Structure 1
């Protein structure tokens, strides 16, 4: 029986094609086996900004196509051909193309001449600026990204692969720092020999590229080169510069099995930080859960027992506490349409996030499937349109809403419209800069088609079922005349309560958020989904407990406007997410130019908005359950 692992990028499609039960290999899952001398394809990807060694900061967010007109890299004789990619890979800016490099399995090459290209002064200025900004080249060999072998600071023995390798470097001469371009590549490929197999026994299990700058000598026939001159090659910004590209290939046998070849890429930087974060978050959750338990099991139990023992004909107004507002606590909130739309979209995001993290935890969304994480999120969000429509419709009906047609229409359009509109606006900046990250027009059309053909009908169907279902009836009768709300304590006012409570859910995810942001902006592989899964659970518990506790205090102060308050109190953690992004922007990034800054701030605000919807939804439904439970437990005249 052949070894098989589900495809990351096609995990959702497997479920749709369950009827095709015959044994087969999914593309990218089965290992590619080679005989000695077989051609091993080297594909090229975009150029991405990396950390500048001198400043330890990222200075740009714009990625460029490998065959951008100003780089003048060597092209295949028939021209570069596109390699098929997943939707998520395209959205994240991958542009994978063929290359003229010729690699043969287990066959070493030394100083093999590739081509000669000419840089004019405009191309030299463009390329030199990219070298100053620390750009990396990204290649793929047998699906593995070409990497630089590096080690963690203070632990030279702990080596791992860092994706990509430098476009060039800066001369270290004091007072004479000049950029040079790397034009020679030592390609070191690790391969694994399958024991006992005679036919196609080799598999690629590791790729390291060591770039260097050389002024080679090319033979008269232009077919060979001498790479003995290690003098760096500089691009002149006042005249044309000829560049000779060469490469060497070194094949090294490795004991690493194909199934574990990604281990060196999935390096966890100081796992003690993650454990400390989890312990810290767990302590917060235990503390909050203990406080809420005291309220529920001690204070509320006494209150409910006292209320139920009193004579309902007596005047007990002065000793009723949160019972005083029983006739107003289930009064519909202001703007019930908008709140129900937020809650529907929040439920959709909640289940999408949870299922995605679960799939990633189980290994279905491995980094070997480029863009599989984003693809899974898009597919899940689309298919969960039914959940969003149903939740929004039933909540809106429970609020007594009557504009059901508007609710059905706006639920699948409002939040996705904001996200798509922001994404579309930011895409113009990528187009303006000629970035490879600019999403192609047909990909945009495909997203719109997915939205209208799949998501909208599912949302409409969910709304139809939601409006047909019974509303959540209030356990107590609502008075016709609203009760007057007394002056509130400072900590119960909207802004202080939001700032006070919102920081606790943020504290539960702060460390993982830092690593996620580093993986996004520094182009690192994030694969700590076990920690992320636990942090997600802790965040849910924290959002629920702190919101319930604050709303309990609010009700005790005779304030029955809890619906929007519950949503905003829990959602206020998004404010700290955005604030953290601003601090990260100032401390870790040194972005030059309008486009990079707009992209960072735009995407940070968009992430904060979605996080606000998610956490606000968690806080609201937890509080709604709590409020219904306590008022259903007392006898009301």
Structure 2
């Protein structure tokens, strides 16, 4: 029965990955265009510039609408980003110029004018795709003439298209000529929408056309990018100094303790000639199972899964693979999260069995739900809000089915399979009496009263603040991309920042754990996890600060999305960083206690 279940899980895994890869394949509609062949032009969405995730379908505003609105091909990542590509009335042929030509004349009612005026007042932007190259332009402009505010609607677009190697390699759209005045509604008001097309040869290679198109809209200019690198390198040097000092302290103190202890003859240890002190007194209690070990192991397993997902995504972004494909990095992150569920189940069950846990089935279930559970609750609320506002941020029903299918047929079977293998592997060590370097007594040692700076809150504050101080510079650039329309491309800097975060968090946590054990308190399991997880608290506080100081977001939809998804990311950081610091402490504790002699 078990083999059949595993086989079914593998079949579901292959089917899901095949569907995902087919969904991600790029469209081939712009390959090898001949002169006169039609170029695909798609309309995407509209949104207020201050609320970039408050997205609406393009034809939700009174534009010229095709007789039949058809949805265009989109990758999984584009759908998750809120893109909703539909057909348009613009008829563009490859390398054929077109004089100004009307596409329709739209009668505007008073409600239509109010909707357009409100959109211009809130600085709405729209996005259009020409041969899969995106262009973002304002919906209109607001001017002030002789003390009177006037609203001008963009109704004419001049397409300037570059061609090379049989493809459209550059797109620029001029929208600031012959605007239509919609300041006041008039009886019989009609707006005529028109366009023109001008082709020119370009030297941009077809292979890098998307990169060049997006590069024109990046805000990271050369000078600011140099300053960005300089700030990160400066932080990296300071972090290395801090880590070096902390490691020097740990190595000198621990090596001193071990050398003094190991140079004592066995006769003196047996006769009691030298009394143990500090952390050495805890050899019979340091590997005692923590309270709520099932939940603790599930947290560790879920954190390991997120850690691998982040590492893989950052490395892919650094390599440039999928970097300029809209939603490509997001799709890769999703696929990585699915397949790394095996490690989550393995590590959680392995640790749970070593700690003497017996309810392994519940342990696997909780591990599988540890991140997905909060994700589903928050997403359900935010998706309902987006659906109520008729925003494209609400996922389509087919996408929801695909996500559930992927999780139930890939993540869950891999978690179960990893859990079975982890439990079996750990059982061999437990049966051989080698689960941990030291045996644990039945009765727990009395814990002495510690100083205030040994308290969990004090140590969590120190272990959270120092790592966060190493990454807060890069957070501003990440937030500008996540809560804006730009694609984040500085993955090299992000990788360097992530390495700094791991170094500082691990080093500070190990040092605090050593001080904690030296105070003769063996309860290090939850503290080691919480020391890294406390970074998430500073992250969420920074999110609140960023919202009120660097954004002009407003409205229930945007605020709920910002704080809801920020809370979800903070929970993911808690799991991931908790896993990192726990593993660092686990290796450290196993090392020092495997070097001492105990009965």
TM (normalized to structure 2)?
0.89
Tell me: CA distance 1:354–1:240, structure 2 relative to 1, closer, same or farther (3 Å). farther
Which residue among 310, 317, 323 is the counterpart of 1:353? 310
* Aligned counterparts, 1:441-460, within 5 A: 441-460=397-416
The residue that corresponds to 2:9 in the other structure is: none
In structure 2, the residue matched to 1:425 is: 381
Residue aligning to 2:6: none
User: Is it true that 1:203 corresponds to 2:167 in the alignment?
Assistant: yes
Aligned to 1:44, what secondary structure does the other structure show? strand
Per-residue CA deviation, residues 284-318 of structure 1 (Å, 9 max, x unaligned), is: 43223313432343211110111122321354786
Q: Which residue of 1 aligns with 2:176?
A: 212
Q: Structure 1 residues 482 and 178 mapped into 2: Cα distance closer, same or farther (>3 Å)?
A: farther
What does residue 295 of structure 1 align with?
249
- Residue in 1 that maps onto 2:475: 513
Contact 2:307 2:576 in 1 (8 A): yes
Superposition pairs of residues 323-362 of structure 1, within 5 angstroms: 323-362=280-319
Residue in 1 that maps onto 2:63: 73
**Match in the other structure for 1:113:** 102
Query: Comparing both structures, which one devotes a greater share of its residues to helix?
Result: 2
Alpha-carbon distance change, 178 to 503 in structure 1, aligned in 2, over 3 angstroms: farther
Pairing partner for 1:189 from 144, 157, 161: 161
Q: Tell me the distance in 2 between the aligned counterparts of 1:614 and 1:316.
A: 45
Q: Does 1:256 align with 2:212?
A: no
Q: Matches of residues 314-393 of structure 1 in structure 2 within 5 Å?
A: 314-315=271-272, 320-367=277-324, 369-393=325-349
**What is the CA deviation profile of residues 49-74 of structure 1, one whole-angstrom value per residue up to 9, with x for unaligned ones?**
32xxxxxxx24631000111xx1222
CA-based RMSD: 2.5
* Rounded Cα–Cα distance in structure 1 between residues aligned with 2:28 and 2:524: 51
Shift in alpha-carbon separation, 1:240–1:352, aligned structure 2, 3 A: farther
Contact 1:93/1:438 (CA < 8 Å) preserved in 2? yes
Aligned to 1:9: none
Structure 1 residue aligned with 2:558: 596
Do residues 247 (structure 1) and 170 (structure 2) align? Answer: no
Give the distance between the partners of 2:239 and 2:271, measured in 1 at CA.
41
Q: How far has the Cα of 1:16 moved from its partner?
A: 7.0
Shift in CA distance, 240/133, structure 1 to aligned 2, threshold 3 Å: farther
Q: Which residue of 1 aligns with 2:32?
A: 33
Name the stretch that deviates more: 282-291 or 91-100.
282-291
Listed as ranges, the gaps of 5+ residues in structure 1 are 1-11, 51-57, 147-163, 195-201, 215-229
User: Residues 465 and 538 of structure 2 are in contact (CA less than 8 Å); yes or no, is this contact kept in structure 1?
Assistant: yes
Contiguous gaps of at least 5 residues in structure 2: 1-12
Corresponding residue of 1:480: 442
**Contact 1:119–1:235 (CA under 8 A) maintained in structure 2:** no
How many aligned residue pairs are there?
Answer: 568
Give CA deviations for 1:127-175 in whole Å, capped at 9, x if unaligned: 32222221211011111112xxxxxxxxxxxxxxxxx110111113364
Whole-angstrom CA distance in 1 between matches of 2:382 and 2:187: 36
> Residues 264 and 142 from structure 1, CA distance in 2 versus in 1: closer, same or farther, beyond 3 angstroms?
closer
Q: Contact between 1:62 and 1:435, CA under 8 Å: does it hold in 2?
A: yes
Partner of 1:61: 53
Question: Residues 479, 87 of structure 1: CA spacing in aligned structure 2 closer, same or farther, 3 A cutoff?
Answer: same
Shift of 1:495: 1.6
Q: Report the counterpart of residue 223 of structure 1 in structure 2.
A: none
SS at match of 2:437: coil
- The structural deviation recorded for 1:346 is 0.7
* 1:563 CA drift (Å): 0.9
Task: Verify the 8 A CA contact 1:121 1:240 in the aligned structure 2.
Answer: no
Pick one of 72, 79, 101 that aligns with 1:90.
79
Equivalent residue, structure 2, for 1:49:
48
Residue by residue, what CA displacement relative to the aligned partner does 1:54-108 show, whole Å, maximum 9, x if unpaired? xxxx24631000111xx1222234x121112122211110101111101122222
Indicate yes or no: 2:278 matched with 1:286. no
Contact 2:540/2:570 (CA < 8 Å) preserved in 1? yes
SS of 2:103's equivalent? Answer: strand
Residues 295, 366 of structure 2: 8 Å contact kept: no
Change in 2 beyond 3 A, CA 1:174/1:606: farther
Paired residues of 1:540 and 1:618 also in contact (CA < 8 A): yes
Q: Distance between the aligned counterparts of 2:192 and 2:413, measured in 1?
A: 57
CA deviation digits over 1:192-232, x for unaligned, max 9?
A: 2x4xxxxxxx3211111121363xxxxxxxxxxxxxxx6x4
User: How is 1:137-152 mapped onto 2 (pairs within 5 angstroms)?
Assistant: 137-146=126-135
In 1, Cα distance between the equivalents of 2:121 and 2:110? 16
Q: Structure 1, residues 12-70: CA drift from partner, whole Å, max 9, x if none?
A: 999978xx9xxxx96447962323322111111111332xxxxxxx24631000111xx
Q: Is the 8 A contact 1:180 1:213 kept in 2?
A: no
* Correspondence 1:417-566 to 2 at 5 A: 417-470=373-426, 471=429, 473-566=435-528
